Amino acid sequence: MTPASSAAKRVVVLLSGAGSNLQALLERSLGGQVVRVVSDQLGAGALDLARARNVEAVAVDRREFADRQAWEKALREVVTEAAPDVVVLAGFMRILSGAFVSRWPTLNVHPSLLPAFPGAHAVADALRHGVKVTGATVHFVVEQVDAGPIVAQESVAVRSNDTIETLHARIKAVEHRLLPDSVTLFCHDRLAIDGRRVRILP
Whether residue 136 contacts residue 150, with contact meaning beta carbons closer than 8 Å, is answered with no
Per CB under 6 A, the list member of 9, 62, 139, 172 interacting with ligand GAR is 172
**Does residue 170 belong to the site contacting ligand GAR (CB under 6 A)?**
no
Read off the DSSP letter of residue 6: H
From the list 82, 114, 110, the residue with the least C-alpha distance to 13 is: 82
**Does residue 109 belong to the site contacting ligand GAR (CB under 6 A)?**
yes
**Does residue 91 belong to the site contacting ligand GAR (CB under 6 A)?**
yes
**Does residue 180 belong to the site contacting ligand GAR (CB under 6 A)?**
no
**Does residue 40 belong to the site contacting ligand GAR (CB under 6 A)?**
no
Residue (79 or 174) nearer to ligand GAR, CB: 174
**Does residue 31 belong to the site contacting ligand GAR (CB under 6 A)?**
no
**Does residue 17 belong to the site contacting ligand GAR (CB under 6 A)?**
yes
Distance of alpha carbon 99 from alpha carbon 116, whole angstroms = 25
Q: Count the neighbouring beta carbons within 10 Å of the beta carbon of residue 121.
A: 14
In the three-class reduction of DSSP (H, G, I as helix; E, B as strand; rest coil), residue 3 is classed as helix
Residue (86 or 178) nearer to ligand GAR, CB: 178
In the beta sheet, which residues pair with residue 149? Answer: none
Whether residue 27 contacts residue 50, with contact meaning beta carbons closer than 8 Å, is answered with no
Q: What are phi and psi of 152, to 5 degrees?
A: -155, 145
Per CB under 6 A, the list member of 84, 111, 135, 180 interacting with ligand GAR is 111
Interface residue list for ligand GAR (CB under 6 A): 15, 17-21, 90-91, 93, 109-111, 120, 122, 172, 175
